[in-house]
């Protein structure tokens, strides 16, 4: 998993609340277990017209937001069914950080497992950020080490995050990475187990 320390880039404002995981990545794009190529399905029903052509009014289709690495959204982002494809699709689009007043628990947890930083801030602060993101200068900086978001005008907004999750993101550690850090202890345990319970070993 790619480490997350400091991120500077365009922020795209998505003025919608209760954006569920089916809206983030519709069910027809869930047939793969590959994490690449999912950006084409991200917000498919929002960004695509009935005839299949791109909707120029959707925020991520606009030139100034096509390379957005930060998404600013409404409350209860990522609600609905549990699908890990949702953070995969965001990541494949290049979005490493989502800022919203609140998140659905499962989506929130899945973000950390895939190198995305979800930041929960008060509604009034998120509204201000959305207004800033709609301006001519919509470049934000997210500093995870200092837990600050720097707005386009230079104002800094602090956010809270569990120390364990913060450390794991900074170090680029997902569940597998965390397990591998204990590889020596696992090897010691396995060696000891073979001596104490040899009958558990396969004999052929």
Number of domains the chain is built from: 1
35 contact partners, CB below 8 Å, separation of at least 6: 88, 91, 92
Q: H or E segment at 88? A: helix 85-93
Under 8 Å between Cβ of 10 and 70 = yes
Q: Which of 87, 119, 88, 115 is nearest to 172 (CA)?
A: 115
Residue 154 lies in a domain: yes
What is the pLDDT at residue 176?
Answer: 54
What is the pLDDT at residue 24?
Answer: 97
CA distance 171 to 164: 11
pTM of the prediction? 0.86
What is the pLDDT at residue 130?
Answer: 97
Residue 185 lies in a domain: no
List the domain range (segments joined by +) for residue 162. 6-174
Residue 193 lies in a domain: no
Write phi, then psi, for 111 (nearest 5 degrees): -60, -45
pLDDT in tens, the chain (204 residues): 899 999 999 999 999 999 999 999 999 999 888 888 999 999 999 999 999 899 999 999 999 999 999 999 999 999 998 889 999 999 999 999 999 999 999 999 999 999 999 999 999 999 999 999 998 899 999 999 999 999 999 999 999 999 999 999 999 986 655 554 556 666 667 667 676 777 677 655
CA distance 61 to 55: 7
What is the pLDDT at residue 22?
Answer: 96
Residue 198 lies in a domain: no
Residue 39 lies in a domain: yes
Q: H or E segment at 21? A: helix 21-24
CATH number assigned to the domain comprising residue 54: 3.20.19.10
What is the pLDDT at residue 54?
Answer: 94
């Amino acid at each position: 998993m790619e480490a997350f320390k400091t991120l500077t880039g365009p922020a795209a404002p998505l003025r919608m609340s209760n954006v569920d995981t089916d809206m983030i990545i519709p069910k027809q794009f869930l047939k793969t277990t590959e994490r690449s190529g999912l950006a084409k399905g991200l917000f498919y029903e929002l960004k695509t017209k009935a005839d299949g052509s791109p909707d120029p009014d959707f925020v991520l289709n606009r030139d100034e937001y096509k390379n957005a690495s930060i998404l600013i959204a409404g409350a209860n982002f990522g609600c609905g069914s549990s699908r890990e494809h949702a953070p995969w699709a965001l990541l494949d689009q290049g979005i490493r950080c989502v800022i919203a007043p609140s998140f659905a628990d499962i989506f929130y947890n899945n973000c950390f497992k895939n190198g995305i930083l979800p930041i929960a801030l008060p509604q009034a602060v998120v509204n201000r950020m959305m207004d800033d993101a709609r301006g001519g200068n919509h470049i934000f900086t997210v500093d995870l080490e200092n837990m600050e978001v720097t707005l386009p005008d230079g104002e800094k907004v602090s956010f809270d995050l569990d120390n364990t999750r913060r450390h794991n993101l900074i170090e680029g550690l997902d569940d597998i990475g965390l397990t591998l850090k204990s590889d020596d202890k696992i090897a010691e345990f396995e060696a000891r187990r073979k001596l104490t319970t040899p009958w558990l070993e396969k004999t052929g």
